[in-house]
Amino acid sequence: MAFTRMQNSGVAPVVRSFPAVSDRSAKILVLGSMPGKASLSAKQYYAHPRNLFWPIIGQMTGAILELPYENRVALLQKSGVALWDVLQSCTRSGSLDSDIKNEVPNDLTSFLKNHSKITTICFNGNKARECFERHFPDLMAARAYRFLALPSTSPAHASMTYEQKLESWKTIL
């Protein structure tokens, strides 16, 4: 929603997540930690030009990067995939997950109750998984979902090739 700057205070700005991209027929929930600066600026999930989310998910759902954002989102929903972030807000000076502080989680418990067809929860990177485990231990313990920890599609996670990430991500479908 917003990237709020604090002028000359030396305090990291508060950043806020977007609303979920979902409909009631979703079977898979892909969770990130918090959108980066490029995404916040564009008001689109995974907007950084080197983020591999859309190229990877596009191969599986047809939501290819060349399509307008609204079309990609519609194809994701048609494929039963929902997107959201574990965190509703945090303070962070850049885009790195390692800089996240003062976490406030989204209400994933209510979201999952209202999206009862979701059976698989995927984490786009370790930070999303760690935040989920910290804020929602009851959901982890309930074992009502299949959890998949996937390699981050962020350009900051460069230790894996596109092909390696794609192979891991194919497990969601």
Distance between CA 110 and CA 152 in Å, rounded? 25
Q: Which of 51, 71, 106, 114 is the catalytic position?
A: 51
**Annotated catalytic residue 106:** no
Q: Hey, what amino acid is at 60?
A: M
Residues making up the chain, counted from first to last:
173
User: CA angle, 78 as apex, 72 and 79 as ends, to 5°?
Assistant: 90
Strand ranges, E, within the chain:
14-16, 28-32, 81-85, 87-91, 101-105, 120-124, 146-150
For helices 53-61 and 69-78, angle between their N-to-C axes, nearest 10 degrees: 50
Catalogue the active-site residues.
51
